[in-house]
Amino acid sequence: MLLILELSQNKLINDKYYFLIGFVLVILILLLHIYRENFISVVDVHLVSLNIFGTYYNLNLFDGILFTSFIVITIFTAWYFGGHSAFLFVSISWNFEVALFVVLTGRYELIVEFVNILLVIILYFLESPPDRKARLQRQIIENTNQRLIKTNKIFQRFVPVEFINLIGKKCITDISAGDSAQEKITIMFCDIRSFTKLSQNMQPKEVFDFLNSFLKEVGPVIRKHNGFIDKYLGDGIMALFSRCSSDAVKCALEMSDVLREFNKKNEQFNVKVIRTGTGIHTGDSILGTIGEDERIETTVISDAVNLSSRLEDLTKTYGVEIIISEQLYLEVKDKINATARYLDEVIIKGTDYKLKIYEVITNSESIISESKIKNKEKFESAVNLMNKNQYKEARTLFSEITAECSDDYPAKYHMAQCKQFIQDLD
């Protein structure tokens, strides 16, 4: 019943132009009826007979029945084989011709028009075989489209649409092995600290649930800042930011706040507090696909990727949350609402490349953060002294900083380094 009502409603909406044509023809018939005598005198048609090429034809009851049957068969045939549109066209045409005949001959053979209109009304609300076939085909096409849309969305969960767009493709079906593009990208690596040790006390299912609960929190933050997760690395992630390099740093700061709230929620379940380390660098990178015909994978290849990974690893050494490169610092220092302090100049593992690194100070531990901001200039002066091999002077400044805040791990780390260098020189 609901299907019939829906089909009828759709027909009434779709057939508005047919109704308009019918309305115009009805007006025309009424005008012909009103001015019938004038019109007949022009076309030389008598009241009870038709003058066709000089021959008069009178219609009797048998003619009316035959004519009615012919109309009924024609309309039904158009409905059955031609579908809804053909049926409406034929029925409107025949109704106009019958009405015209009645008006011009002056014979009110309403039985013909009554049967005709009754048939039209009945067939109008019935679905013809061609219409049913067309409806089923449309349903198949719509269902197929919905499945394709759903499948495409699922694929986008494996291959982000942002990555597809970056390599100049519109759809995942356009991708093939070897597609690539060069773009300036800001790369973020984020890793959960000591997760292996933490997961030793969990069942495999609990490990997956815990990781997914964490990723469920940070994923929206990354998208919010115009980035996307390119890879899941066990207990870590690699995210890309192509619009603005400051987006990555702002994202890392908000992720720190989210992690703090995440730990608070997990306290009631006696889950150990977790910490993360984040390394961020920016530079030209090659984005593309590698593999072969049957298996491909997206990847990013560049020194910037390797440096970002190294920076994330250095967060363990210095005991900080976020480390960025000097290049990135110079780009974002006036665009982020946070303080960054010069941390050190390091030789990147596996290379001869020297890189100045900066710590972005978060609000995760307010007392420590306040001390770091307060002693920023003193800390940076101590680092510069240490880099000039003035270890005793540097050690003195680091001692003053740690005396005020014993949990300033970079200061403690540098102070231990200075002590070792002094001992080696002696």
* Distance from the Cα of residue 53 to its chain's centroid: 72
Which pLDDT does position 22 carry in this prediction? 64
Helix extents (H) in 159-278: 161-166, 195-199, 204-224, 245-267
Say what angle helices 83-105 and 16-34 make with each other, to 10 degrees: 10
Distance CA 54, CA 40 (A): 15
- Give the distance between the most distant pair of CA atoms in the chain: 137
Distance CA 6, CA 296 (A): 46
226 SS3 class: coil
Whether pLDDT at 57 is above 80: no
Q: What is the mean pLDDT of residues 139-144?
A: 85
Which pLDDT does position 32 carry in this prediction? 63
More confident of the two residues 125 and 51: 125
pLDDT grade for 412, boundaries at 50, 70 and 90: very high
Distance CA 70, CA 76 (A): 10
Which pLDDT does position 47 carry in this prediction? 43
Which pLDDT does position 65 carry in this prediction? 56
* Distance from the Cα of residue 50 to its chain's centroid: 70
Q: What is the token pair recorded at 256?
A: 């720190």
Distance CA 397, CA 47 (A): 122
pLDDT grade for 285, boundaries at 50, 70 and 90: confident
360 SS3 class: strand
pTM for this model (two decimals): 0.68
Domain positions in the chain are 2-127, 177-361, 365-426
**Element spanning 303, H or E:** helix 303-318
Whether pLDDT at 378 is above 90: yes
User: Which of 39-48, 141-150, 287-296 shows the lowest mean pLDDT across its residues?
Assistant: 39-48
Q: In this structure, what are the phi and psi dihedrals at residue 333, rounded to the nearest 5 degrees?
A: -60, -30
Count how many residues are written for the chain.
426
Distance CA 22, CA 16 (A): 10
More confident of the two residues 35 and 359: 359
**Element spanning 6, H or E:** helix 2-14
Helix extents (H) in 47-160: 61-77, 83-105, 110-124, 129-158
Which pLDDT does position 46 carry in this prediction? 44
Distance CA 289, CA 300 (A): 9
Share of the chain above pLDDT 90, in %: 27
277 SS3 class: strand
User: Which of 16-25, 119-128, 260-269, 309-318 shows the lowest mean pLDDT across its residues?
Assistant: 16-25
Share of the chain above pLDDT 70, in %: 72
CATH number of 177-361: 3.30.70.1230
More confident of the two residues 64 and 350: 350
Whether pLDDT at 45 is above 70: no
119 SS3 class: helix
Q: For 109-141, what is each residue's pLDDT tens digit?
A: 555 666 667 777 777 677 667 777 777 888 888
Which pLDDT does position 329 carry in this prediction? 93
Residue 50 bridge partners (DSSP): 57
